[in-house]
Amino acid sequence: MKRRRLLAFSLSIFMVASAIAGCSSSGLAGSDDPSPSNQSGSVTPSISELSNEVVDYSKNVTSDGKTFIRVGISADPGTFDPLVGSNSTGRQYALNPMAQHLLTSNFDMELFGELAKSWDKIDDFTYIIQIHDNITDSDGNHLTSADVVWCYEQAKESGIGQSKNISSIKALDDYNIEFILDVDTITIFQSVMRRINIVTKKAYEDSPNKMATTPVMTGPYVLKEYIPDSKIVVEKRDDYWKTNEAERCFTEYANADIIEFHVIKEPAQLAIALESGQIDMVYGLDTMNASRFMDGESPKEGFNRFISKTSSVILLFLNCSAQSVFKDNLALRQAILYSFDSQAIADGAYSGGAVPCKAFGSSILPDYLDEWESDDYDYYNYNVDKAKELVAQSGYKNDEVINIMVDSDSQRKMVAQILQNYLLAIDVKTEISSYDQTLFDTYADDPAKWDIRVDSGSSSDYLASMLDGRFNANKFTEGMYNESFAQDDKLQELVIAANDPKSFNSETVGALVSYLNEQAYAVGLVNLVLETVTTDVVEDIVLTFMPNILPSSCWFVWNKR
Amino acid sequence: MVKFIMRRLLWLIPVSMGVAVVIFSIMYFVPGDPVQIILGNDATPEVIAQLRNDLGLDDPYIIRLGRFLKDVFLRFNFGESYITHVSITKEMISRLPRTILIGFVSMMLTLVIGIPLGITAALQRNRIGDRISMIIAMFGVSMPGFWLALMLVVVFSVNLSWLPPYGIGGIEYYIMPCMANAVAGIAGMARQARSSMLEVIRSDYVVTARAKGLSNRSVILKHALPNALIPITAVAGSQLARIFGGSVVIENVFSIPGVGNYMVTAINNRDYPIVMSCVIFLAIIFSFVMLLVDIAFAYIDPRIKAQYMGEKNTNRRRRKQNV
pLDDT at res. A376: 82
How far is the CA of B193 from the CAs of B91, B117, B184, B185, in angstroms?
39, 8, 14, 12
**Where do the domains of chain A lie?**
38-79+219-302+536-556, 100-202, 309-529
Rounded to the nearest angstrom, the minimum Cα separation between A141 and chain B is 24
Residues 525-544 of A with CB under 8 A from B: none
CB-based contact B86 A164, cutoff 8 Å: no
pLDDT at res. A224: 96
**List of residues 6+ apart from A17 with CB closer than 8 A:** none
More confident position, B130 or A128: A128
Q: Tell me which chain A residues have a C-beta less than 8 angstroms from the C-beta of B124.
A: 5, 8-9
Rounded to the nearest angstrom, the minimum Cα separation between A86 and chain B is 6
* pLDDT tens for each residue of B136-155: 888 888 888 888 998 999 89
Pairing mode of beta strands A522-535, A303-318: antiparallel
CB-based contact B255 A263, cutoff 8 Å: yes
A229 touches chain B (CB under 8 A): yes
Residue A99 near residue A219, CB atoms below 8 Å: yes
Task: Kindly tell me the burial class for residue A316, based on how many C-beta atoms sit within 10 Å of its own C-beta (0-12, 13-18, 19 or more).
Answer: buried
A100-202 belongs to CATH 3.90.76.10: yes
How far is the CA of A20 from the CAs of A47, A511, B183, in angstroms?
42, 66, 11
Fold classification of A309-529 (topology level)? Dipeptide-binding Protein; domain 3 (3.10.105)
Q: Residue B310: which pLDDT band, with cuts at 50, 70 and 90? A: low
ipTM of the complex: 0.78
Q: Tell me which chain B residues have a C-beta less than 8 angstroms from the C-beta of A461.
A: none
A227 bridge partner residues: A231
Residue A463 near residue A361, CB atoms below 8 Å: yes
Residue B323 has pLDDT above 60, yes or no: no
**List of residues 6+ apart from B213 with CB closer than 8 A:** none
Chosen from B41, B42, B44, B110 to mutate, greatest number of chain A CBs within 10 A: B42
DSSP assignment of A93-120, as one string? HHHTTT---SEEE-TT--EEESSEEEEE
A257: nearest Cα among A96, A97, A68, A99: A68
Q: Tell me which chain B residues have a C-beta less than 8 angstroms from the C-beta of A161.
A: 40, 42
Chosen from B148, B161, B216, B218 to mutate, greatest number of chain A CBs within 10 A: B161
CB-based contact A213 B86, cutoff 8 Å: yes
Nearest CA in chain B to A232: B167
Nearest CA in chain B to A440: B32
pLDDT at res. A536: 92
Residue A15: which of B40, B112, B262 has the nearest Cβ? B112
CB-based contact B167 A278, cutoff 8 Å: yes
**List of residues 6+ apart from B256 with CB closer than 8 A:** A230, B98, B102, B166, B167, B168, B173, B174, B177, B250
CB-based contact B257 A158, cutoff 8 Å: no
Residue A278: which of B133, B164, B265 has the nearest Cβ? B164
Neighbours of A125 (CB within 10 A): 17
**CATH number of the structural domain A38-79+219-302+536-556:** 3.40.190.10
Mean pLDDT split into 10-residue runs, chain A, 561 residues: 49 44 34 31 32 74 94 90 81 91 87 94 94 95 96 88 88 96 88 92 92 93 93 95 90 94 90 91 86 86 89 94 93 95 92 87 89 87 94 89 93 95 94 90 90 91 91 82 92 94 92 94 92 92 85 91 63
Q: For residues A190 and A183, give the distance between their C-alpha atoms in angstroms, rounded to a whole number.
A: 13
* pLDDT tens for each residue of A359-386: 888 888 889 999 998 888 889 999 999 9
Q: Tell me which chain B residues have a C-beta less than 8 angstroms from the C-beta of A73.
A: none
Q: Tell me which chain A residues have a C-beta less than 8 angstroms from the C-beta of B253.
A: 266, 269
A282: nearest Cα among A97, A132, A70: A70
- Measure the CA angle with vertex B300, ends B298 and B301; round to 5°: 70
* pLDDT tens for each residue of A258-293: 999 999 988 888 999 998 889 999 988 888 888 889
- Measure the CA angle with vertex A393, ends A392 and A399; round to 5°: 50
B80 bridge partner residues: B87
CA B259 to chain centre: 12
Rounded to the nearest angstrom, the minimum Cα separation between A79 and chain B is 5
CB-based contact B85 A209, cutoff 8 Å: yes
pLDDT at res. A139: 95
CB-based contact A269 B136, cutoff 8 Å: no
CB-based contact A269 B172, cutoff 8 Å: no
**List of residues 6+ apart from A136 with CB closer than 8 A:** A142, A143, A218, A239, A241
Q: For residues B290 and A189, give the distance between their C-alpha atoms in angstroms, rounded to a whole number.
A: 61
* pLDDT tens for each residue of B229-282: 888 888 888 888 888 888 888 998 899 999 999 998 888 778 888 998 888 888
Residue A9: which of B120, B162, B170 has the nearest Cβ? B120
Work out the average pLDDT over B6-11. 82
**List of residues 6+ apart from A312 with CB closer than 8 A:** A362, A456, A457, A458, A527, A528, A530
Rounded to the nearest angstrom, the minimum Cα separation between B259 and chain A is 11
A438: nearest Cα among A417, A408, A465: A408
pLDDT at res. A41: 27
pLDDT at res. B303: 75
Neighbours of B319 (CB within 10 A): 9
Q: Tell me which chain B residues have a C-beta less than 8 angstroms from the C-beta of A24.
A: 160, 162
Pairing mode of beta strands A402-407, A176-181: unpaired
Residue ranges and CATH numbers for the domains of chain B are 1-83+269-323 (no CATH), 94-257 (1.10.3720.10)
Work out the average pLDDT over B129-140. 87
CB-based contact A5 B123, cutoff 8 Å: yes
* pLDDT tens for each residue of B27-41: 888 777 778 777 766
A54 touches chain B (CB under 8 A): no
